[in-house]
Copies of this chain bind each other. A is one copy, B any other.
């Protein structure tokens, strides 16, 4: 016999894939039911519960990873949004959220209740501060309502957007329709009349279907 050398092989490719699959499944399942069990997640990932524990130390770790992941995806998208017109920028922020519906909803489900509140709040901080910034600018430019404090207004726009995301999911809305609806919701809450909002969208090609970045 040759030497019984202890060889360390690298992680197998399919294992790494499965890890991703689990996180995707978690995002999908948790966005519907934030109390979903490890078994539920495993089933959605077409893996055994036991295998899941091979990838994550426990349910909390899965939730944590899912949230961190969703938050950073959104943060990244949000960072690249910019426009001279605060209203257009606001609309683009809404569109960004729409592009990440599943992640956004998973986050939203944990934003209020449960022991992950703080973590989620921290993870969403970039989006929120960005939103407040844009709103403050819009108020200065007289484009956005001044009868509600920017901080409060930011929360209301955020809440309204999530309501749209829920309704869009529930009604299996088309991508185009959902895209436009999130934008309309944000602009309306920001103070625009509906005709004004429609017009703004129509006159800015960047707000149409494909949105700016990939």
State the oligomeric state as a number of copies: 2
Asked if A208 lies at the interface with its beta carbon under 8 angstroms from chain B, I say: no
Most buried by B among A156, A166, A184, A188: A188
Contacts of A193 in B (CB 8 A): 191-193, 196
1/0 per residue, CB under 8 A from B, across A23-67: the answer is 000000000111100000000000000000000000000000000
Is B152 a contact of A159 with CB atoms below 8 Å? no
Is B147 a contact of A194 with CB atoms below 8 Å? yes
Is B163 a contact of A163 with CB atoms below 8 Å? yes
Cβ distance A125 to chain B, nearest Cβ, rounded Å: 16
Asked, given contacts A34-B113, A35-B35, whether A156 binds B164 with beta carbons under 8 Å apart, the answer is yes
Asked if A126 lies at the interface with its beta carbon under 8 angstroms from chain B, I say: no
User: Contact partner of A162 among B113, B159, B181, B184, CB < 8 A?
Assistant: B159
Is B167 a contact of A163 with CB atoms below 8 Å? no
Asked if A185 lies at the interface with its beta carbon under 8 angstroms from chain B, I say: yes
Contacts of A194 in B (CB 8 A): 145, 147, 191-192
1/0 per residue, CB under 8 A from B, across A111-144: the answer is 0110000000000000000000000000000000
Contacts of A147 in B (CB 8 A): 184, 194, 198
The 15 sampled A-B contact pairs (Cβ below 8 Å) are: A35-B113, A112-B166, A145-B194, A147-B184, A147-B194, A155-B163, A155-B167, A156-B164, A156-B185, A159-B159, A159-B162, A160-B160, A185-B189, A188-B188, A189-B189
- Give A contacts to B, CB under 8 Å: 32-35, 112-113, 145, 147-148, 152, 155-156, 158-160, 162-164, 166-167, 170-171, 181, 184-185, 188-189, 191-196, 198
Q: Apart from A147-B198, A158-B163, what are 17 other A-B pairs with CB-CB below 8 Å?
A: A33-B113, A35-B35, A147-B184, A148-B181, A152-B167, A152-B171, A155-B167, A156-B164, A156-B167, A156-B185, A159-B162, A162-B163, A163-B163, A185-B189, A188-B188, A191-B195, A192-B194
